[in-house]
Structure 1
Amino acid sequence: MDESTPTGAGHGRAVATRVRIRARSRTEPHRASTPLELLFDLCFVVAVAQAGSKLVHALAAGHPGHGITGYLLVFFAIWWAWMNFTWFASAYDTDDVLYRLVTLVQMSGVLVLAAGVPRAFDDADYTVAVLGYLIMRAALTFQWLQAASGESGAARTVALRYAAGLVVVQIAWVVLLLLPGSWWTGGFLVLVVAELSVPAYTEHDHRTSWHPHHIAERYGLFTLIVLGESISAATVAVQSALDESAALDLLLPIAAGGLVIVFAAFWSYFAVPIHEHLSSNRQAFLWGYGHYAVLGSAAAIGAGIEVAVEQVTHHAEISARAAASCVTVPTAVFLLMVWAVHTRHFKSGLAQHMVLPAGAVAVLACTLAGHLAVPLAGLACACTVAAGVWPARVR
């Protein structure tokens, strides 16, 4: 096979053995996610589950500040590493032997990151988590250098800029790790800005050939996996409660309400063909960056349902209203952010635009209901979906 010939990415394609990478076409037909990318997502869900588990423990123990701060820090590392590889793969996935091996290294890195989550939460020890992050970023840097070797002109410059930006920021993470713990929060925020700035600077005059339909599918699949993790977490929590013969009259409404919330989250997210909106870097980057809140809140919904179950079974040291807020707040954030970065681009008129924001407000109001908050929030979410679907049905 000629090393300069793109191979594409498909489920049944034989693995190529070439080394150089060439950009794929942005208009390539039938561009779909590959099994390797799906395996990549599943590895990241392990880290998401770890972060969610520690969030549950912190919230149930009555330490929301510590739990939410730790969750936001860890989830950023998970989301950002996933996002960076996803956009690279959309432009350069060749599925050759070396590409697969380097991608598997990134998967190993996220598992190391996941192993470091408990230490980061409990002891503010970020050593293992940062090590896992560095493994992922080093592998991605290698892939950008590999892409640069197969490109010329502006495309080569962009690939080299990405590699250089990754190296500089990763050195900064190591330096931050060596500084006193009091530097961590401020230094973390500075490096978050640096991380987010790399793509904007790198592609300001020439964009990589990411594929709109492929990117939309990748984000959609990861959203599905995260929502599935919420269902799994809630199921485990309810099962544990049932094993202790806890009251069914309180557990069943929580389980039913939580399930409806997740179903409504799915419906709201997949209501529009978002790939039609992703026509420029500015639109796509803002949409992609906004998914930090979309995905983070989706994962937190499952954690919140677990906390609500623990409160009912007297394993949480918080009030019923506080436990309810652990479900209603992330649900409201999800609805609001899905509208802000996702569905509003396809809405017309004030009534359509207000459906999801109004639904978010209604869900927040359910917090006041205490033990009934989760089923009422599920009802509010169902009504929100119905309000969005009904106008389309009657046209």
Structure 2
Amino acid sequence: MSDHTEGFYRHGLSRMLGRSTTEHGRVASPLELLFDLVFAAAFGVLGTQFAHGIAIGEMMPALGAFAFGGAAIIWAWINYSWFASAFDTDDWAFRLMTMLQMAGVIVLAIGLAPMFESLEHGEPIANQVMVAGYIVMRVAMIGQWLRAARSAEHRSTALTYVVCIAIAQVGWVIVAWVPMTLQATLVAAALCWVVELLGPILAERRAANGSTPWHPHHIAERYSLLAIITLGETVIGTIAAAQEVTAEEGWSANSIVVIAAGIAMTFAVWWTYFLLPSAPILEVHRRRAFVWGYGHAVLFLAIVAVGASLHLIGYVFDPEVHLSTVTVVSCLAASVIVYSLALYAIHAWLTREPTKNIGLQLPGVLLPALAIVLAVAGLPLWLCLLVVLAGPVGVVVAYETGGWRGVDAQLRRAVAVGPTVGA
């Protein structure tokens, strides 16, 4: 009986030897789903702060803070997810390290508001709390890589990760706590990001088999789950806007349009994201994973920005806030355009056919741009909102009415080619 029980339950520590890249039925673990919860909360704070900054007329400071905070959140998630895909042992040490990283995300989220406020008021960047939370996450990641370094096969790669992460964290300490001018802070932060982004590229080149043993279907699922989490911000933005509209007007045509358009936008963005499955291509062309993975950072930020822009609609009806229709429509349209372009670029990179399905993507760019023109011309908010919505909806309609054949052919050609050097 005891032998049977030991087959179901893990005890003690397991060696991080690397998991199989062809493991059957590999899916997100309960721990990874729990890990994602804190990121959902962090994205919620980020989107709320971004919307508030725009509402008070501090567009550029809010945009800068949004990009800086969002990049930190997404980068921490990316690093953990790729590591877990390759080395997750689900033992007590791995779980405790994950819990420490979750605590770091919470601290980072707490530090977002002071960082936004400092930039909006033209003060020195108050990023100490946010950076402290980020460093907690990254130091925990160093601990994870040190465990992986005990495996002879992955020692060189793991130690390269450790060195690069450690150097970057020293840089972040300098950025956060050494008094500098705004320009010097931005330069120092840019250098830190260069180290952060180059670290995985340098480390993976030293991997025994060309990369760490991440699982293509598992990592594709992890990214799709984060896309769904960021889409939660569009639901939150819709609710926030609808509450403000109904508080001022009751259940009116405006409130109905806001709710309908917000939910339709969420569904349309979700639909377009899953037009092209990534896992079959990543399975064959593992070298395409870097651009695919990094490119998602822009896509995720764009989705959060869509949610924040939907939140802005409520501010239009707030008598204490003077926010124009042009500003709201421009923010929403720009977010949808960036999302559409990022999605197209990711699909083009995976399939190596950058022009084949461009007709499917055009509505996602042209119609939101038209909505900005209509807003400047003085047309009502509800109409402009529907025109922006028509962008991703148009992509869905084009796909479902026959465009799927072209996408399916692209996928088949990409998989049929087989792995090639540098592909």
Same fold (TM over 0.5): yes
Q: Give 2:45's match in structure 1, choosing from 45, 50, 54.
A: 50
Q: Which residue of 2 aligns with 1:92?
A: 87
1:203-222 mapped onto 2 (5 Å cutoff)? 203-206=204-207, 207-222=211-226
In structure 2, do the counterparts of structure 1 residues 374 and 202 end up closer, same or farther at CA, with 3 Å as the change threshold? same
2:366 pairs with 1:353: no
Deviation at 1:373, TM superposition (A): 1.4
Q: Does 1:77 align with 2:76?
A: no
| Rounded Cα–Cα distance in structure 1 between residues aligned with 2:355 and 2:69 | 37
Q: 2:231 aligns with which of 221, 227, 230?
A: 227
Distance 1:345 1:93 in 2: 26
User: How far apart in 1 are the matches of 2:9 and 2:264?
Assistant: 42
State the alpha-carbon separation in 1 of the partners of residues 142 and 352 from structure 2: 39
Deviates more, 1:158-167 or 1:174-183: 174-183
1:22 partnered with 2:17: yes
Q: Is the 8 A contact 2:345 2:354 kept in 1?
A: no
Match of 2:274 among 251, 259, 270: 270
Work out the CA distance in 1 between the residues paired with 2:303 and 2:56. 22
Change (3 A) 1:128 1:111: same
How far apart are residue 49 of structure 1 and its match? Answer: 0.9
**AA in 2 matched with 1:331:** V
Q: 1:133-160 deviations in whole A, cap 9, x for unaligned? A: 01100111000001111x104x111011
**What is the aligned partner in structure 1 of residue 335 from structure 2?**
330
Give the corresponding residue for 1:39.
34
Matched, 1:384 2:384: no
Give the match for residue 161 of structure 1.
160
Partners in 2 of 1:235 and 1:80 — Cα distance? 28
Aligned pair in 2 of structure 1 residues 281, 169: CA closer, same or farther (>3 Å)?
farther
Query: How far 1:20 sits from its partner (Å)?
Result: 2.6
Contact persistence 1:308–1:326 (CA under 8 A)? no
Change (3 A) 1:393 1:223: closer
Give, in whole Å, the separation in 2 of the partners of 1:344 and 1:159: 28
8 Å CA contact 1:147–1:159 kept in 2: the answer is yes
1:6-17 aligned within 5 A: 14-17=9-12
1:349 and 1:110 map into 2 onto residues whose CA distance is 36
Matched position secondary structure for 1:24: coil
Distance 2:126 2:400 in 1: 47
User: Quick one: structure 1 residues 356 and 142, their matched pair in 2 at CA, closer, same or farther if it must change by over 3 Å?
Assistant: same
Residue 129 of structure 2 aligns with an amino acid whose one-letter code is: V
The share of aligned pairs that are identical, in percent, is 32
1:134-283 alignment runs, 5 A limit: 134-149=135-150, 151-153=151-153, 155-179=154-178, 180-182=180-182, 183-206=184-207, 207-245=211-249, 248-278=252-282, 279-283=284-288
Deviations 1:239-289 (A, max 9, x none): 233133357222322322222222111011111220122244531010010
Letter matched to residue 365 of structure 2: A
Secondary structure at the counterpart of residue 277 of structure 1: helix
Q: Write out per-residue CA displacement over residues 163-186 of structure 1, whole angstroms, 9 at most, x where no aligned residue.
A: 111111101111122331422212
Amino acid at match of 1:382: V
Give the C-alpha shift of residue 312 in structure 1: 3.4
Distance between the aligned counterparts of 2:24 and 2:320, measured in 1?
53
Q: Report the alpha carbon displacement of residue 55 of structure 1 after superposing the two structures with TM.
A: 0.4
Within 2, Cα distance between the matches of 1:213 and 1:128?
Answer: 36
Task: Please state whether the residue corresponding to 2:187 is helix, strand or coil.
Answer: helix
Compared CA separation, residues 251 and 326, structure 1 to 2 (3 A): farther
Deviations 1:202-222 (A, max 9, x none): 111321001100000000001
- Give the deviation of 1:308 after TM superposition: 1.8
Runs of 5+ consecutive residues of structure 1 not aligned to the other structure: 1-6
In structure 2, distance between residues paired with 1:324 and 1:74: 23
Change (3 A) 1:270 1:327: same
1:272-318 deviation per Cα after TM superposition (whole angstroms, max 9, x unaligned):
22012224453101001001110000011110011122113445423
Give the equivalent residue in structure 1 for 2:314: 309
Amino acid of the residue matched to residue 253 of structure 1? V
Equivalent-residue separation in structure 1 for 2:352 and 2:401 (angstroms): 14
User: 1:94, 1:394 → 2: CA distance?
Assistant: 41
**What is aligned with 1:3?**
none
**Which of the residues 366, 370, 377 maps onto 2:371?**
366
2:295 is aligned with 1:285: no
Describe the superposition over 1:186-232 as per-residue Cα deviations: whole angstroms up to 9, x where unpaired: 21112111110000011113210011000000000010011022212
Shift of 1:342: 3.0
**Any idea what SS the aligned residue of 2:212 has?**
coil
Secondary structure, counterpart of 2:11 in structure 1: coil
Structure 2: 5+ residue stretches without partners: 1-5, 119-124, 376-380, 407-423
- Does the CA-based 8 Å contact 2:131-2:172 persist in structure 1? yes
Do the aligned residues in 1 keep the contact of 2:245 with 2:254 (CA within 8 Å)?
no
